[in-house]
């Protein structure tokens, strides 16, 4: 009882600790990123460690392009350009080199891999300390290098690493995979929470995208962790503005019904962008795997140079993507006229600029995402959507300015601005994000938590509805899922599709079984060295193949090694896998949990001198009959979470199926089987 109470307190404590860690880390990373990014353009003459914002703190307001204390590197454009490129080169080189030499897992966004880990896949070291440390160190460099990748995806990876490292200090979590997964889920929620300043958005992200099974308890833990992390970030107040992220914004005005037409255009754009991004990024990934596998550093540096060279000449590409979004989201009134975004006389020039930025950024995002530096796809997608949205917004506003009293614009009140281009940028960002990730509810909540504008919930929902419809029509999957498939991780999609076959046609039929009695230790060692399967069904000794249990390879090895230590020569010892009516040994085993009473006594010789494996045998493995449809077996894997399902017919073992078998079947037997639009798009 006391131990239970202690466990309960310790779990609260661990989650709080993880949350605080994530919040602190996010605050520090945000400040460092901003400073490093600003260094690309100039430096603060008062104090070199200040970013442009803090350097020009007193000067807040109208003009972002500098103050007296902020000096650009040179007054000559050419020199500035060269410094810009050199700086990007240096940053990307350092970052990619660090990743390559110290922590390969720190590359990329990490979301796909974490999804697999949460589904039960083991990837040693993916969430370790070195990954955390290197990713934290290199991410600001990557952002500063101007590569078209964002820090939000990696934030989630870093958060999950913090969760694993912190929880790893506690015995309970180190021993239990399932408890560790719960902490990772909570950490992923906190990661999104601090990345977007959106605690509830984080919780929903962990439900909609990350988590494999849903439980209220996990949701509540995510909630708590996200709260603690956001609170810590809010207390740190990294931007000294009271805002949690740079692109948080407030809208005062309402929208008009006729604008829905334009919102639909934004939604369509989001769907198309998502399809484009997923399709071509996969091709780039295939090319990268084939030709660039050993040139990660060179690739990253080349991309950085290219991005810097081209990007310098566009006002929206030159600056950091988060700052760029902060500017694009703003209303024109009250200090929103940065980069002449709101000047009517220059509107077509701006539209031009924004269109170029949209196209170039999309191109760079496609070729950059997945290269060997930390970097996610969230922010580049949102930036692309924001430039497109703002462009559309300015065009609509231009139409309104040209024909203020005609047609659809009649409903506008004459004295207040009718069209707010910032909201178009905002909705465009939501559409592009949803198009790439194929998540909806999370995006609505995140966008809502960025604005707090009650009135913009409905437009956001409408835009995402259109985006989803377009994405379904084009058959786009989320980029994280596509990456999982591309990398061949063993992961079943959440949605079910009909396959019309039974498990009998999928299962492995040649099995390596052990018999409950009559095998010597030497026999078992021979089998262990001749096979590489993860576990062995145990059948009755009478030759009838009656299933009596299942034992994992690792546990066989463990028992044999321990026995060898305590008892010396054991090669000839007979092995015993069942209890033979000895009821004391009937320990019920919970498949998910690695629960283990201290079974030292089993290493001592039994009266018969056998080696006892009984306590390690799972006497109730998950079973299925051969006629069971494949879909139901897949549901069992997804919902019950076993590693293996044994197939038995009337008590007789006839096969074994793992997730890998199912995936292999899906990939080979039905190469062309992709769910049709109706199957997926149907509500």
Choosing from 24, 82, 631, 643, the residue that interacts with its own copies (CB under 8 A) is 631
User: Using CB under 8 A, which of 23, 199, 311, 422 touches its own copies?
Assistant: 199
Q: Work out how close the CB of 269 gets to its own copies at its nearest, in angstroms, rounded to a whole number.
A: 20
29 lies in the site for its own copies, by CB under 8 A: no
What DSSP string describes 373-422?
SB-BSHHHHHHHHHHHHHHHHHHHHHHHHHSTTSGGGGGS-SSS-S--HH
Task: Please identify, using beta-carbon distances, which residue of 227 and 300 lies nearer to its own copies.
Answer: 227
Binding of its own copies by 620 (CB under 8 A): yes
Nearer Cβ to its own copies (210/303): 210
Q: With beta carbons less than 8 A apart as the criterion, state whether 226 and 244 touch.
A: no
Binder among 151, 157, 221, 288 for its own copies (CB under 8 A): 221
Kindly indicate which of the ranges 517-525, 551-559, 624-632, 664-672 contains the residues binding its own copies, using the contact rule CB under 8 A. Answer: 624-632
Q: Is 230 in the site for its own copies (CB under 8 A)?
A: yes
Q: What stretches of 45-85 adopt beta strand conformation (E)?
A: 70-72
Closer to its own copies at the Cβ: 201 or 380?
201
Distance CA 110, CA 107 (A): 8
Q: Give the nearest distance from C-beta 13 to its own copies in angstroms.
A: 9
Shortest approach of its own copies to residue 620 CB, angstroms? 5
Cross-strand partners of 547? 539
CA–CA dist 490, 127 (Å, integer) = 18
Residues paired with 611 in a beta bridge:
575
240 binds its own copies (CB under 8 A): no
Per CB under 8 A, contacts with its own copies among 249-288 are 254
Among 167, 338, 445, 575, binds its own copies (CB under 8 A): 445
Residue 423 CB, nearest approach to its own copies (Å): 15
The sheet that has 547-552: what strands, in order across it?
Answer: 514-515, 535-539, 547-552
Which residue, among 154, 95, 156, 104, has the nearest Cα to 125 in the 3D structure?
104
Instruction: Figure out which of the listed residues 71, 130, 234, 337 binds its own copies, where binding follows CB under 8 A.
Output: 234
Written as six digits, the tokens of 456 are 């913009």
Does position 649 interact with its own copies (CB under 8 A)? The reply is yes
> What's the closest the beta carbon of residue 33 comes to its own copies, in angstroms?
22
Contact mark string toward its own copies, 464..483, x via CB under 8 A = -x--x---------------
| Residues ≥6 apart with Cβ < 8 Å to 497 | 631, 673, 675, 679
Residue 304 · residue 298 · CB < 8 Å? no
Show contacts with its own copies in window 101-160 (CB under 8 A). Answer: none
Contacting range for its own copies; rule: CB under 8 A; set: 89-97, 145-153, 205-213, 320-328 = 205-213
Nearer to its own copies, 109 or 623 (CB): 623
Q: Give the binding range for its own copies (CB under 8 A) out of 140-148, 230-238, 320-328, 511-519.
A: 230-238
Q: Which is nearer to its own copies, 37 or 434 (CB)?
A: 434
237 binds its own copies (CB under 8 A): no
Judged by phi (left if over 0) then psi (alpha if -120 to 50, else beta), residue 258 lies in: alpha
Q: Is 581 in the site for its own copies (CB under 8 A)?
A: no
Can you tell me the distance from the alpha carbon of 288 to that of 297, in angstroms, rounded to the nearest whole number? 12
Residue 348 interacting with its own copies (CB under 8 A): no
Residues 247, 263, 448, 577: which binds its own copies (CB under 8 A)?
448
Q: What tokens were used for 674?
A: 């992709």
Phi, psi of 583 (to 5 degrees): -70, -20
Q: Which of 8, 74, 401, 505 binds its own copies (CB under 8 A)?
A: 8
Binding of its own copies by 636 (CB under 8 A): yes
Q: Does 171 bind its own copies (CB under 8 A)?
A: no
What residues from 496 to 515 belong to the interface with its own copies (CB under 8 A)? 500, 502
Half-sphere exposure of 533 (CA within 13 A, CB side): 20
Distant-in-sequence, close-in-space partners of 295: CB < 8 Å, separation ≥ 6: none
| Structural element, H or E, at residue 456 | none
Residue 291 or residue 639: which is nearer to its own copies going by CB?
A: 639
Q: Where are the alpha helices (DSSP H) in 519-607?
A: 521-530, 553-567
d(CA 317, CA 436): 20
Report yes or no: 160 and 114 within 8 Å, Cβ to Cβ: yes
| Residue 615 in contact with its own copies, rule: CB under 8 A | no
Q: Which of 588, 597, 598, 607 binds its own copies (CB under 8 A)?
A: 588
Helix, strand, or coil (residue 654)? strand
* Continuous H helices in 169-238: 171-175, 177-196, 199-205, 216-236
DSSP H helical segments within 581-658, as ranges? 630-640
Question: Total binding residues for its own copies by CB under 8 A?
Answer: 84
User: x-or-dash pattern for its own copies, window 524-563, by CB under 8 A?
Assistant: ----------------------xx----------------
CA distance 590 to 179: 13
Closest CA to 381 of 331, 336, 446: 446
683 binds its own copies, rule: CB under 8 A: yes
Q: Rule CB under 8 A: say whether 241 interacts with its own copies.
A: no
Residue number, 615 or 681, with CB nearest to its own copies: 681
């Amino acid at each position: 009882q006391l131990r239970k109470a202690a466990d309960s307190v310790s779990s609260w404590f661990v989650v709080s600790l993880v949350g605080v860690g994530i919040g602190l880390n996010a605050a520090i990373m945000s400040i460092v990123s901003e400073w490093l990014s600003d260094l690309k353009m100039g430096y603060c003459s008062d104090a070199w460690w200040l970013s442009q914002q803090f350097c020009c703190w007193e000067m807040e307001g109208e003009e972002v392009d500098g103050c007296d204390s902020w000096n650009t590197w040179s007054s000559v454009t050419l020199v500035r350009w060269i410094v810009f490129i050199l700086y990007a080169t240096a940053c990307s080189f350092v970052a990619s080199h660090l990743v390559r030499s110290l922590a390969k897992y720190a590359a990329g966004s990490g979301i796909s891999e974490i999804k697999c880990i949460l589904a039960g896949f083991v990837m040693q070291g993916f969430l370790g300390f070195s990954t955390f440390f290197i990713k934290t160190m290199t991410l600001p460099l990557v952002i500063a290098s101007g590569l078209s990748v964002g820090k939000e995806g990696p934030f989630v990876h870093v958060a999950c690493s913090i969760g694993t490292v912190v929880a790893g200090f506690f015995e309970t979590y180190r021993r239990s995979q399932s408890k560790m997964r719960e902490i990772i889920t909570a950490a992923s929620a906190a990661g999104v929470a601090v990345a977007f300043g959106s605690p509830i958005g984080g919780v929903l992200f962990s439900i909609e995208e990350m988590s494999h099974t849903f439980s209220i308890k996990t949701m509540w833990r995510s909630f708590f962790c996200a709260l603690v992390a956001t609170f810590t970030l809010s207390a740190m107040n990294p931007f000294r503005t009271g805002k949690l992220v740079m692109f948080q914004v407030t809208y005062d005005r309402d929208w008009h019904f006729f604008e829905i037409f334009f919102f639909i255009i934004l939604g369509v754009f989001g769907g198309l962008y998502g399809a484009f991004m997923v399709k071509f990024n996969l091709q780039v990934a295939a090319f990268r795997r084939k030709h660039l596998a050993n040139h990660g550093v060179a690739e990253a540096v080349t991309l950085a140079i290219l991005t810097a060279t081209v990007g310098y000449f566009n006002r929206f590409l030159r600056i950091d993507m988060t700052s760029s979004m902060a500017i694009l989201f703003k209303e024109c009134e009250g200090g929103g006229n940065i980069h002449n975004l709101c000047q009517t006389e220059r509107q077509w020039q701006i539209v031009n600029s924004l269109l170029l930025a949209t196209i170039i950024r999309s191109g760079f995002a496609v070729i950059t995402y997945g290269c060997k530096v930390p970097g996610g796809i969230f922010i580049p997608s949102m930036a692309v959507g924001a430039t497109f949205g703002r462009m559309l917004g300015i065009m609509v506003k231009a139409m309104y300015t040209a024909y203020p009293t005609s047609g659809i614009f009649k409903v506008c009140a004459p004295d207040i601005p009718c069209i707010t281009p910032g909201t178009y940028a905002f909705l465009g960002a939501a559409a592009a994000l949803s198009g790439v990730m194929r998540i909806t509810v999370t995006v609505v909540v995140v966008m809502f938590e960025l604005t707090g504008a009650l009135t913009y919930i409905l437009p956001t929902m409408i835009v995402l509805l259109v985006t989803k419809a377009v994405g379904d029509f084009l058959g786009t999957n989320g980029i994280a899922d596509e990456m999982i498939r591309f990398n061949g991780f063993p992961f079943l999609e959440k949605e079910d599709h009909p396959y019309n076959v039974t498990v009998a046609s999928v299962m492995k039929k040649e099995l390596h079984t052990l018999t409950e009695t009559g095998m010597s230790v030497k026999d078992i060692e021979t089998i262990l060295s001749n096979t590489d399967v993860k576990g062995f069904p145990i059948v009755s000794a009478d030759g009838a193949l009656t299933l009596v249990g299942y034992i994992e390879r690792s546990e066989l090895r463990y028992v044999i090694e321990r026995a060898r230590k305590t008892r010396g020569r054991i090669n000839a010892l007979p092995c015993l896998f069942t209890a033979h009516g000895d009821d004391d040994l009937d320990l019920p085993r919970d498949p998910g949990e690695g629960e283990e009473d201290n079974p030292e006594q089993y290493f001592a010789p039994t009266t018969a001198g056998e080696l006892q494996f009984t306590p390690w045998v799972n006497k109730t493995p998950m079973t299925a009959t051969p006629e069971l449809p494949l879909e139901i077996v897949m549901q069992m894997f997804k919902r019950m979470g076993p590693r293996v399902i044994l197939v038995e017919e009337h008590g007789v073992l006839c096969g074994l199926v793992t997730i890998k078998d199912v995936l292999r079947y899906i990939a080979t037997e039905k190469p062309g089987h992709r769910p049709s639009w109706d199957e997926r798009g149907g509500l």
